[in-house]
A and B are shown apart, each in its own frame.
Chain A
Amino acid sequence: MESLLNRYRNITVLLLVIMGQLVLLAVSAKNDLDVRFIRIWTVTAVTPVARIIEGLRGGGTGFLHNYILLHDTNQENQRLRSELDRMKMENVFLKNELNTADRAKALQVFQQHTPSRTVAATIIATGAGSSSKVVFVDRGTVSGVQRGMPVVTPDGIVGKVIAAYPTASQVLLITDPDFAAGVVTQKSQVHGTLKGQGTPQCKVDYVAFEEKVEPGEWVYTSGDDRIFPRGFPVGIVKAVRPAQPFKEILVEPSGLQRGLVEDVLILIEGVHQPIPDAPPGMQPIYVAAPPPGNDSTPAPATPAPLGTEADRLRSQYRALGEEQKHTFGENPPGAKPVDFTRLGNSGAAGQTPAAGRNPDAGKNSPPPPGALPVAPPVAPPKTGTGGPAPAPDKNAPPPAGTPAIHPPDAARRAIQPAGTPPGGQPR
């Protein structure tokens, strides 16, 4: 018997180990009861080392750049670059400001203004396996993170926490095939289920073929899944193909459009928000009033009439009548009536506050009728004959009435809540 055991010792041990792991696999796969202590041991062993390596890498890179490689040249380069940035700020203050606002600043501003309670986290490692779509962040249960919490950036949703450990958490990315979230389209308010595919694009499933969804439409979280609060941007519809019984809709996630981000926010307490009427790139941005005594600013817009909506309409009609030399109630029979079709084009009638002047109005409601349309980035006109235009103060905010500038790729900045002060220093 002993010789028999000795003879088959290796294969016996192999079978025992395989059987043990099969039991482990069956328990965790079938009943969803993970053997948690094994994961905790591994994560606790690996993540501190990863954090140390990341710290050494960051410190080493900074040391190399600032002290070893071109010490003086680097400083000179920074000085020249900042000077160049200041020159640019004179011409396109807002555009430059938005383009140079770094991600951390945007994240901080977003964190301060979002109604949800968040905790900032840094991605410190990716999941094991070459096809892995999971990452580890440096916040765990000690920081209040729990399994199932959503992970977002100002650009959009990034994923959700699938495991929370004391010092780190595992986040399933939006592109993972196991990921799903309830979404709603912006224009047509069509509900569906967003699913990852393992590719950079996700698909929206369970949208009936008769529903109208167009490419370019924004998709937001619907809150139906009880994980992601309603109103967070998800991405842009890239393709819509007819299919039975459901449409085939591909969405490019806005949260990962710049690749894997480094800093994210974990929503500790999510708060539902309304779906914006305008796409993130078209939402108004708060523009501060000009400083007093600045002659270079254009004439301030006529203040909006106070009172009710009826008062405002009455003042518009009266202004239109005056413009066409028509006094209501005092014209003889046969006099030319007022051309009300010009109501929308009338300068007097269209006097309303600039879009986004009121932070609250800009955040949650569409611009009022007649408001200045949100325009794409506009460079200041070159005055070749009229002499140099008076240069605005370098640090002064743009004049009132400046239309909100939205670079085409500034979706994340555009979702900064209205009232956000221009942030970030020029690089």
Chain B
Amino acid sequence: MTYSGERILLSSQREGQVSRFHKWVFLVVPLMAILFQVYVPMFFPFLSFLEMPLLVVVYFAIMRRSQISGLMVGALVGLAQDSLSKNPLGMFGIVKTLVGYFAASVGVRLDVEHGLIRLLLGFFFYLFHQFLYWVMSRALLGQQMTFDWSRTAVLAALNAVVGVALFRMLDKLKERS
């Protein structure tokens, strides 16, 4: 294995290449992710565990390596998700804003092209997303929800695996320099 293949930490920000996308990608991909979440579980209920909007937010955040861009994508996708749920507007929005911000912050320092890194990021940010949502539901809305760590960890692993494949597909939409 070569040196660059093993290295997962970037020594400087300049080493991390900022990926660029066509503008339509920022519109179509989140829309498709939201459509996937509201439409596909009607026919395949077992796929309802997939948090496609979250994976898309994480992808754009880590690939753009811009915290402002990441949090904006997170906020917009989260608000769209809120609009299609029965929650008050802002629940998913705040959670995904933070996810986008932190994913971009982490993406600056890591080699986000690395498959293992993507897997770990998908796992961690799913856990973070679910935990933060649970905290906000209890704290802001007063809902008595339970947080099942073991179940969430399993779902995080499944989402991470799907995320790796999804990120590979989304890589094809990058603008060629």
Q: Which residues of A contact B (CB under 8 A)?
A: 9-10, 13-14, 17-18, 21-22, 24-25, 28-29, 34-35, 38-39, 41-43, 45-46, 49-50, 53-54, 123-130, 132, 134, 136, 162, 170, 172, 176, 178, 260
Do A21 and B85 touch (CB < 8 A)? no
**Is B140 among interface residues, defined by CB-CB distance under 8 A?**
yes
Q: B residues 90-127 with Cβ under 8 Å of A?
A: 90-94, 97-98, 101
A10 to B64, CA, bound (A): 14
Partner of B85, one of A14, A28, A123, A127: A127
Interface string of B63-93 (1 = CB under 8 A from A): 0000110011001001111111111111111
Asked whether, in the complex, the Cβ of A53 is within 8 Å of the Cβ of B39, the reply is yes
Chain B residues positioned under 8 Å from A39 (CB to CB): 83, 89
Known A13-B67, A25-B140, A129-B87; 12 more pairs at CB < 8 Å = A14-B98, A14-B101, A24-B90, A42-B80, A46-B35, A46-B84, A50-B39, A53-B35, A125-B42, A127-B85, A127-B86, A260-B42
Q: How far is the CA of A125 from the CA of B85 in the complex (A)?
A: 11
Nearest-neighbour CB distance to chain B for A99, whole angstroms, equals 25
| A43 touching B84, Cβ below 8 Å | yes
**How far in angstroms is the closest Cβ of chain A from B4?**
28
- In Å, the complex CA distance between A176 and B38 comes to 16
Do the beta carbons of B42 and A134 come within 8 Å of each other?
no
* Residue contact A34 to B86, C-beta cutoff 8 Å: no
In whole Å, how far is A208's beta carbon from the nearest beta carbon of chain B? 25
Q: Contact between A130 and B49 (Cβ–Cβ < 8 Å)?
A: yes
Asked if B42 contacts A21 (CB within 8 A), the reply is no
Given the interface pairs A46-B34, A125-B42, A128-B81, the reply to whether A134 lies near B68 with Cβ below 8 Å is no
- CB-CB under 8 A from A53, the residues of chain B are 35, 39
List of A residues within 8 angstroms of B41 by Cβ: 126
Q: How far is the CA of A45 from the CA of B91 in the complex (A)?
A: 20
Contact B88 A29 (CB under 8 A): yes
Q: Is the interface of A mostly helix, strand, loop or mixed?
A: helix
The 8 Å CB contact of B71, one of A14, A25, A125, A178, is: A14
Once the chains are docked, how many angstroms separate the CA of A49 from the CA of B38? 11
> Are A21 and B140 also in contact (CB < 8 A) when A14-B71, A39-B83, A128-B37 are?
no
Question: Contact residues of B with A, CB < 8 Å?
Answer: 31, 34-35, 37-39, 41-42, 48-49, 51, 53, 67-68, 71-72, 75, 78-94, 97-98, 101, 140-141
What distance in Å separates the Cβ of B71 from its nearest Cβ neighbour in chain A? 5
Q: Which of B48, B51, B80, B89 contacts A24 (CB 8 A)?
A: B89
Distance in angstroms between the alpha carbons of A123 and B37 in the assembled complex: 15
Q: Name 16 interchain pairs, CB-CB below 8 A, sorted by A.
A: A9-B68, A17-B75, A21-B94, A24-B88, A25-B88, A28-B88, A28-B89, A29-B88, A50-B38, A123-B42, A126-B41, A128-B84, A128-B85, A170-B86, A176-B86, A260-B42
Closest to A41 in B: B83
Task: Find out whether the CB atom of B35 lies under 8 angstroms from the CB atom of A35.
Answer: no
- Cα(A22)–Cα(B95), bound, Å: 11
Kindly provide the distance from the CB of A137 to the nearest chain B CB, expressed in whole angstroms: 12
Contacts of A129 in B (CB 8 A): 81, 85, 87, 92
Contact call A22/B71, Cβ cutoff below 8 A: no
Chain B residues whose C-beta falls within 8 Å of the C-beta of A125 in the assembled complex = 38-39, 42, 84
Q: Give the distance in Å from the alpha carbon of A134 to the alpha carbon of B81 in the complex.
A: 13
Contact B31 A49 (CB under 8 A): yes
A41 to B34, CA, bound (A): 14
CB-defined contacts of A162 to chain B, threshold 8 Å: 86
Pairwise interchain contact B67-A14, C-beta atoms closer than 8 A: yes
Q: Are A132 and B85 in contact (CB under 8 A)?
A: yes
Q: Which of A125, A134, A178 has the most CB of B within 10 A?
A: A125
Inter-subunit contact B79/A38 (CB<8 Å) = yes
Cα–Cα, bound, A9→B71 (Å): 13
Are A132 and B86 in contact, CB atoms less than 8 angstroms apart? yes
Which of chain A's residues have a CB closer than 8 A to the CB of B93? 21, 24
Chain A residues, Cβ within 8 Å of B88: 24-25, 28-29, 34
Asked if A127 and B91 make an inter-chain contact with CB atoms under 8 angstroms apart, the answer reads no
Output the nearest chain B residue to A123 by Cβ-Cβ distance: B42
**Most chain B beta-carbon contacts within 10 A, residue among A22, A41, A126:** A126
Chain B residues whose C-beta falls within 8 Å of the C-beta of A14 in the assembled complex: 67, 71, 97-98, 101
Judging by beta carbons under 8 Å apart, are A38 and B85 in contact?
no
Contacts of B34 in A (CB 8 A): 46, 128
Determine the chain A residues whose CB is within 8 A of the CB of B78 once the complex forms.
21
Bound together, the chains give a CA A127 to CA B42 distance in angstroms of 10
Q: Which A residues touch B90, using CB under 8 A?
A: 21-22, 24-25, 28
> How far is it, in angstroms, between the C-alpha of A157 and the C-alpha of B45 when the chains are bound?
22
Q: Which residues of B contact A17 (CB under 8 A)?
A: 71-72, 75, 97
Centre residue among B49, B75, B78, B94 by max chain A CB count within 10 A: B94
The answer to whether A18 and B84 touch (CB under 8 A), given A46-B38, A130-B51, is no
B42/A25 in contact, CB under 8 A: no
Nearest chain A CB to B103 CB, angstrom units: 12
Q: How far is the CA of A9 from the CA of B101 in the complex (A)?
A: 12
- Contact across chains for B51 and A38 when beta carbons are under 8 A apart: no
Which residues of B are found within 8 Å of A172, using beta-carbon distances? Answer: 86
Taking the nearest CB of chain A, how far is it from the CB of B73, in angstroms? 11
Chain A residues near B42: list those with CB within 8 A. 123, 125-126, 260
Residue pair A134, B86 in contact (C-beta under 8 Å): yes
A35 proximity list for chain B (CB < 8 A) = 89
